[in-house]
Amino acid sequence: MRLRTALTAATAAFALALSAAGSSAAATGEFRYVTLDLNNVQIQHVLDDPQSRECIDLEGTGNLPALLGRNLTTSVATVFQDAACDGDTFWTVSPGAFVPVTARFRSVVFS
């Protein structure tokens, strides 16, 4: 009986480990965006193969939000006006599509 319980527990732990490993898959491709420095000079940024289902606070958006984004990944990207993928202002961007020109964003999550 103890062997069966131990085997069941080991099988459950293995299944949990496999599901957790699958949840950290990456979106294949690039997500590109632009930020402005304090002198209004554009700085190009690229996220290569970003993690799926993880909120990413975008580099360079501390003073001003990002603009001119393009989703060149194989996954849908959701960009948020606020950091930490927070707030109710967001845009959903299909693979290959541009973030709307009027959007200003600080974080992104890929599905």
The residues, any chain, with a CB within 8 Å of residue 38's CB and separated by 6 or more, are 63
The pLDDT of 34-60, averaged and rounded, is 97
pLDDT of residue 24: 57
Question: Is it the case that residue 55 has pLDDT exceeding 70?
Answer: yes
The pairing of beta strand 42-48 with beta strand 29-36: antiparallel
Please tell me the total count of domains within the chain. 1
Cα dist from 59 to 35, 56, 66, whole Å? 9, 9, 9
pLDDT of residue 6: 41
Residue 74 lies in a domain: yes
* CATH code where residue 73 lies: 2.60.20
pLDDT of residue 25: 85
Q: Domain of 95?
A: 25-110
pTM for the model: 0.77
pLDDT digits (tens, 9 = 90+) for 13-43: 444 444 444 445 889 999 999 999 999 999 9
